[in-house]
Copies of this chain bind each other. A is one copy, B any other.
């Protein structure tokens, strides 16, 4: 449905917003009109934040996460365990793991998973750079924390093969019933795996 915009400036701003994922024309109009009601300094601050992020943020030379400096704060932190690397798909996953407060190692952001359907081959991912980090000899364990999909499993296996010549422990994050979930609603593959990979009961609850 075409909309006759009363203002070209409005139409242009709405069009820019609709280029973002999951933002349709109605939502874009609502967001833009909300911005329009704000003070000019606030809109300037919004615009400036986007352009500065694009111009000044870099990818960490070590783990490929986003960073304001050449080496990200996590890689530069001496109190983190640099012998333990958690391999994730993207920056959101780094933040998700950080939010658990359960992990004190470092990360390696692949930038995706191997997916021939989407045209993503191993060469498009930061796998070579992971192998180089392991080749330096400081790394003791790699935790694979990729999506539990066929593409994730393929990528896990590819990394496993690439690292087989090095003396490094490889593990994957546990798959099982989500905390708070009821058994009857779990799918049978997850439930089956959770029985095969059962863990010793220590009397603790979470």
Identical copies in the complex: 2
Give the complex CA separation of A56 and B56 in angstroms: 28
Q: How far is the CB of A202 from chain B (nearest CB, A)?
A: 27
For residue A102, CB closer than 8 A to chain B, the reply is no
Contact A66–B6 (Cβ < 8 Å): yes
Taking a contact as CB atoms closer than 8 A, the residue among B12, B20, B53, B90 that contacts A49 in the complex is B12
8 Å CB contacts to B: which residues of A1-45?
A: 1-10, 12-13, 15-17, 19-23, 26-27, 29-36, 38, 40, 42-45
Q: Which of A74-107 contact B (CB under 8 A)?
A: 74, 90-92, 94-95, 98-99
Structural contact, A66 and B10, CB atoms closer than 8 A: yes
Supposing A4-B95, A4-B99, A6-B73 touch, asked if A54 and B36 sit within 8 A by C-beta, the answer is yes
A28 to B: closest C-beta gap in Å: 11
Closest Cβ–Cβ distance, residue A69 to chain B (whole Å): 9
Q: Which B residues lie within 8 Å of A56 (CB)? A: 9
A127 at the interface (CB under 8 A from B): no
Report which of B6, B46, B73 forms a contact with A60, defined as CB distance below 8 A: B6
Q: Pick the residue among B19, B34, B66 that contacts A36 (CB under 8 A).
A: B66
A72 at the interface (CB under 8 A from B): yes
By beta carbon, the residue of chain B nearest A98 is: B4
Q: Which residues of A contact B (CB under 8 A)?
A: 1-10, 12-13, 15-17, 19-23, 26-27, 29-36, 38, 40, 42-57, 60, 65-68, 72-74, 90-92, 94-95, 98-99
